[in-house]
A and B are shown apart, each in its own frame.
Chain A
Amino acid sequence: MSGHNVILDVQNLQTYFPIQGGVVRKTVGYVHAVEDVSFQIREQETFGLVGESGCGKSTTGRTILRLIEPTSGHIYFDGQDLCALDKESMRQKRRDMQLVFQDPYASLNPRMTVRKLLEEPLKTHFSLSQAGMDEQVLWISQAVGLSPEQLERYPHQFSGGQRQRISIARALITKPRFVVADEPVSALDVSIQAQILNLLMGLQKDLKLSYLFISHDLNVVRHISNRVGVMYLGRIMELGDTEDVYHTPMHPYTQALLSAIPKRDPSEEKARIRLEGDVPSPASPPPGCAFHNRCPHCTAACKEQVPESRELSPGHWVACHLYD
């Protein structure tokens, strides 16, 4: 179903945030939010990024849209290096790449009607007549399941699920080809989550979209993604086809993460790999493998060398010394 043309190619992406201290705000260190991340997204594909809070998955998504400037690395969109673009050309480029935010309560301006909210991206990116805008607004509101009379209402008059529909409509009205969906269903109830996921999958088919789908919910990522990358402390530990990764997880972190999903059935017997301790701070990541201090299979090499990502089976990449 998904094409083979690569639409987005991220190479060795790094994003550091400076930590400032003292009276003169001198830089005393860096938060290593994204560390040497590389992956590709093909046309009409959903690539899932999954990981625990603070692992850098959202920062990765935002850096790709250059909402946060990368420290180093390359982002090729359609073969063009986004990092080399100046501000104005990047702004124009965003017509093709959009973002859906997590919290539909915070991402919509409460003083604008839905119609105004939907017209805003059109005004930014196109110069259309009022009739032309009306046509686009009507088209997208139908596509996401909003009725015409709802267009004159304000965000507070909608429930969380409805607001997320508005956010999605806002992202898609410029007809982008690539969408970063940053935890789009995390703030929603279970029964509403399913509606929004179905909507996202339906729109992908109709509008031929590629998604970067960021979530901490392993079940949701499994459901929607063709391929998935597992992040830990700024690095991608394992990357591959969703079913490969979920059926035969190779990295000890992925194995532990998957075994921590609560069981779906009270009678199910589940062996759980227990991880001791907490995720280390990205401001002072441990030397060697980022996971070594929690890993049940830690060896001397893990403490010193950062493992390189290797392709163990076609398309299935793992960064772990166990497979050296």
Chain B
Amino acid sequence: MDHLLEIRNLSIELPQGRRKPPVKLVEGVDLTVRKKQNFGVVGESGCGKSITCSSIMGLLSFPLSLGQGSSIRFQQGDGREVEITGLSKAELRKLRGRDISMIFQEPMTALDPMYTIEEQICESLLFHASLSKAEMHDAALEMLRKVKIPRPEQILKDYPHHLSGGMLQRVMIAIALINNPRLLIADEPTTALDVTIQAQILDLMNELRESYDTSVIMITHDLGVIAETCEEVAVFYAGQVVEQSDVNTIFHAPAHPYTAGLLRSVLSLGGAQQELYTIQGTVPTAGNFSVGCRFADRCEHCMDICRNRAPALSEISPGHLCRCWLHADTPKEETA
């Protein structure tokens, strides 16, 4: 078994008061992340990619809650599988930062301005490992060297406001990796950074991956970042996975019209001054999804069946999943 994380039938609900049924922001998500895999999650804002991954950390905040039947199974370091949805708060705290850690989008706001870099790196050592003060200092120094921070001795004593965005993101990566986690969730780690700094950080993450046994879930809206870093990709649209496959298939033979449209609108960019390919309309908001396929209103290939019946995510070729009636030789309807 080389499955590290198995998400089955995940749904996330936003209650609407006592009279109305809750709105499902994420519905029926199945994801499997293998050991040492770089897994990409891509989608536009509001598609549910970030809250899906927050739920892995048990970080859903009130009033959001997991729906009935959601399951997140994670294999711990000792080989035991745990059901994250059933863990108590104390158990979750033990998991976070040790087995699963996270890098956030804005390093400027994710670090505490009141503590030095050393204190912030050592915080997670203090919690998860029993080391002496000197050992912790050495570990923090070693970690800063690994993420290629110049003058690490000095930087340890600095406060976050002394450092630039790119440096802070390196510090965030150092904090996330210091306990050698089995799973690293990176939520738009380079979105707030400039292109030259983004290139540095992506290179660093690719290099570190070679030396750690960590699986990475990379959440992003940028297909370029996916192309640079990932092996397997899940495309989110309106709270569902609409397509999942290895990265080459997604880029060269996308099956879902949304994935294809997204790629076309990005790829036609740069060809000078022609009309860009666009996907018509806008993403429907949660709670206003149609009964059929959620992409039907914007789809070029929309058929009658698309408006009336919701397609299920089905395997169209080995390892390639797609949620679309176009590819349904053996049409499967989603069972509500």
Contact = CB atoms under 8 A, between A and B. Distances in A.
To the question of whether A and B form a pair in one complex, the answer is: yes
Interface of A: 52-53, 159, 161-162, 189-195, 197-198, 201, 216, 218-220, 222-224, 226, 242-243, 246, 256-257, 259-268, 272, 274-275, 277-279
Q: Taking chain B's interface residues, is the majority helix, strand, or loop, or is none over half, making it mixed?
A: helix
B124 interface: no
B44 A189 contact: yes
A220 B223 CA distance: 14
Interface of B: 44-45, 150, 164, 166-167, 194-200, 202-203, 221-228, 230, 247-248, 251-252, 261-262, 265-273, 275-279, 282-283
Given A266-B247, A277-B150, 10 more contacts: A190-B221, A191-B261, A191-B265, A195-B278, A201-B273, A222-B269, A224-B273, A242-B272, A265-B251, A279-B194
- The 7 nearest A-B residue pairs measured at CB: A262-B224, A260-B199, A52-B194, A189-B44, A194-B276, A194-B265, A191-B279
17 contacts: A53-B194, A159-B283, A162-B282, A190-B44, A191-B261, A194-B269, A194-B279, A198-B276, A216-B194, A246-B270, A260-B195, A260-B196, A260-B198, A262-B222, A262-B228, A263-B228, A278-B197
Given A261-B224, A266-B227, A190 B196 contact: no
Contacts of B278: 191, 194-195, 198
Contacts of B198: 260, 262
B203 A272 contact: yes
B41 to A, nearest CB: 15
Contacts of A53: 194
Contacts of A279: 194
B39 to A, nearest CB: 14
Contacts of B283: 159, 189, 191
A268 B278 CA distance: 24
Contacts of B166: 278
B196 A263 contact: no
A286 to B, nearest CB: 16
Given A278-B164, A278-B166, A189 B196 contact: no
A215 to B, nearest CB: 11
Given A190-B262, A190-B265, A264 B199 contact: no
A303 B150 CA distance: 22
Nearest to B44: A189
Nearest to B195: A260
Task: Name the residue in A194, A257, A267, A278 with the highest tally of chain B Cβ atoms < 10 Å from its Cβ.
Answer: A194
A223 B167 contact: no
B195 A274 contact: no
A257 B195 CA distance: 7
A226 B199 CA distance: 27
A302 to B, nearest CB: 19
A222 B282 CA distance: 25
B282 A161 contact: yes
A161 B44 CA distance: 13
B269 A263 contact: no
B196 A275 contact: yes
A35 to B, nearest CB: 19
A137 B280 CA distance: 24
B195 A218 contact: yes
A223 B271 contact: yes
Contact of B276 (A222, A223, A256): A223
B194 A275 contact: no
B247 A275 contact: no
B299 to A, nearest CB: 12
B239 to A, nearest CB: 15
Given A201-B273, A243-B272, A278-B197, A263 B227 contact: yes
B248 A266 contact: yes
B87 to A, nearest CB: 34
A292 B58 CA distance: 47
Given A257-B195, A265-B227, A219 B202 contact: no
B272 A223 contact: yes
